[in-house]
Structure 1
Amino acid sequence: MAARIIAVCNQKGGVGKTTLVTGLAEVLSRDLLLKVLVVDADPQRNTTSTLGIVDPEFTLNDVLYGDEEQKHRILPGVAADAVMPAGDAWQGGHPSLDLIASERNLASRERDSMMAREGRLRTALRGVADQYDIVLIDCPPSLGLLTVNALTAATHALMVSEPRVGSVEGLTEIVTTIAEVQESLNENLDVVGIVVNKKKKNRLDQDRWIMQMRQDYDGFVLEPSLFDREIYAKSQAGYVPLKTFGSSSTIELASLKRLAENIMERTAP
């Protein structure tokens, strides 16, 4: 069975894509016992760092650069050369959590001008993705070539937004980009929905924005929302999974597990 390939995206930065991607990767592999591959397509490389990889030798930048001897042609399945296990803290007790790491120089791929440049990641992942139950692609906070590559390679798009004006307005732009990719590059791309992240308790303004999202994107706002909690920052700063914090992470892990189960149900073939 072909893997679900989910591009996690929003053109607005700071909405918590790294929190969502690494949190989902943890519960999908540890709790749902799935074989997971994370592709860090963001040159800021926050997901790479959080998953415990500091100085990778071969990254997504090398994959998308292509083979110099073949005039930078992308060889089908070449992404396999960049797959590495996540850091030691993320391993154990589940089938597999692997990573294709990012680096700062990945930003230079936004300027690539070779033919069929939008489909280079899809070609690179050919045959590799099928070795996993699910592939999560962390997109950069832009609507550039790296995001288009991720959406072209993906089977599904998962949007993430904070419940505030800048992030909600940004959804309109990423929805437009997804529609353009569906029309011209990947007709099989489906939308999973929208994850509301960084919600704060007892904030009426945020409740209004969530209500507005539900009206604008009927049926696509996923449950549960994720609350803005310090433990997510501690996880990223320490390069460790949430489970490291024991009972302090119970609520967050339970929410992420429910969300992961919802996503798996919506993406079932």
Structure 2
Amino acid sequence: MQVVSISSLKGGVGKTSVTLGLASAALAAGIPTLVVDLDPHADATTGLGVRPSRQDDIGRMLRNPRRADPASHVAPSGWVATAKQEHSPGRQVLDVAFGSAYTGIYDRPDLRRRDLVRLVKVLSDVTGYALVLIDCPPSLNGLTRMAWMASDRVLLVAEPSLFSVAGTERTMRALDLFREEFAPDLVTAGVVANRVRAGSSEHMYRMAEMRTMFGEQLLEPTIAEQANWQQIQGAAHSIHQWPGESARQAAATFDELLKHFTDSGRRRRQPAQPEAKLAEAGSTSG
């Protein structure tokens, strides 16, 4: 099972849109996928067509991770009911550990170190998926660090703009520090450029800057600005199900980006070692 966090320390760059695009590509390819919506705004949950129910949201599962029983509390995406079966001859699986404002209690910088393994514990009982996508909040507080602790890879999302590029560089430095202290096996999946306008001289300048700064870590293809993306998300539809040439091209882009994760043989590490390490650290730090 491949666990991938989609992260950005700057809001408004389309991080959730990238999560939804990758989930759409996984559904179309017939890859059993779980989306974990860690952002307290729960926009990924809305975009995936999931409505709140009596099941526990991810925040409540984090509160009691040893008793979480995620198999009983994940919800099927609304996309599955309308997915075109010709994309995949088998059973299509796209489930959601849905988000809520409740997760905000963990999105703070002063979490004890042993709390960082809460999501590791929740996911340790998850089976039946080939891919887990974690939509992180745009901060480096507790929720993002929980996600990184539970992940094999972190995908960074950036727009071709000054502040976004600078924020991405800060995120990469933060990842290096986190990897050194907590998760030596954590891999940077790369940087995906989102909302790129080929006709914008500013965007082309920033893209050249990103290629210089990030080199091979800047992934191809880039994601072009999608004029009707808000309409697609508002309708709670998969990009692969939306009509029109621009949606078809965007779907093909996400199909290519998904290969960066599905072509890899890396798997999520077992939680025992980091949990023991953090528990020991937490007992000494109080």
Same fold per superposition (TM over 0.5): yes
Task: Tell me the residue number matched to 1:209.
Answer: 206
3-state DSSP of counterpart to 1:34: coil
AA partner of residue 258 (structure 1): E
Task: Tell me the residue number matched to 1:18.
Answer: 16
C-alpha distance after superposition, 1:198-252 (max 9, x if no partner): 1112112111111111111111011111111122211111111123322342111
AA partner of residue 191 (structure 1): T
3-state DSSP of counterpart to 2:216: coil
Task: Tell me the residue number matched to 1:62.
Answer: 60
3-state DSSP of counterpart to 1:135: strand
Task: Tell me the residue number matched to 1:167.
Answer: 164
Matched, 1:259 2:257: yes
Task: Tell me the residue number matched to 2:145.
Answer: 148
What's the offset of the Cα at 1:49? 0.2
Q: In 2, distance between residues paired with 1:91 and 1:185?
A: 41
Matched, 1:219 2:216: yes
What's the offset of the Cα at 1:91? 5.2
Percent identity of paired positions between Structure 1 and Structure 2: 26
Matched, 1:181 2:172: no
Task: Tell me the residue number matched to 2:238.
Answer: 241
Q: In 1, distance between residues paired with 2:170 and 2:142?
A: 15
Q: In 2, distance between residues paired with 1:158 and 1:88?
A: 23
3-state DSSP of counterpart to 1:191: strand
Task: Tell me the residue number matched to 1:268.
Answer: 265
What's the offset of the Cα at 1:178? 1.2
Aligned residue-pair number = 257
Return closer, same or farther for 1:127/1:113 CA change in 2, 3 Å cut-off: same
Q: Is the 8 A contact 1:140 1:147 kept in 2?
A: yes
Task: Tell me the residue number matched to 1:78.
Answer: 69
Q: In 1, distance between residues paired with 2:81 and 2:20?
A: 10
Q: Is the 8 A contact 2:117 2:149 kept in 1?
A: yes
- Normalised to the residue count of structure 2, the TM-score between the two structures is 0.84
Q: In 1, distance between residues paired with 2:53 and 2:178?
A: 31
- Normalised to the residue count of structure 1, the TM-score between the two structures is 0.89
Q: In 2, distance between residues paired with 1:98 and 1:117?
A: 25
Q: Is the 8 A contact 1:154 1:189 kept in 2?
A: yes
Task: Tell me the residue number matched to 1:70.
Answer: none
Structure 2 unmatched ranges of 5 or more: 267-286
3-state DSSP of counterpart to 1:29: helix
Matched, 1:158 2:138: no
Task: Tell me the residue number matched to 1:123.
Answer: 121
Matched, 1:102 2:99: yes
Return closer, same or farther for 1:76/1:175 CA change in 2, 3 Å cut-off: farther
What's the offset of the Cα at 1:110? 2.1
Q: Is the 8 A contact 2:79 2:238 kept in 1?
A: no
Q: In 2, distance between residues paired with 1:216 and 1:208?
A: 12
3-state DSSP of counterpart to 2:33: strand
AA partner of residue 36 (structure 1): T
Q: What CA RMSD, in Å, does the superposition of the two structures yield over aligned residues? A: 1.8
Task: Tell me the residue number matched to 1:232.
Answer: 229
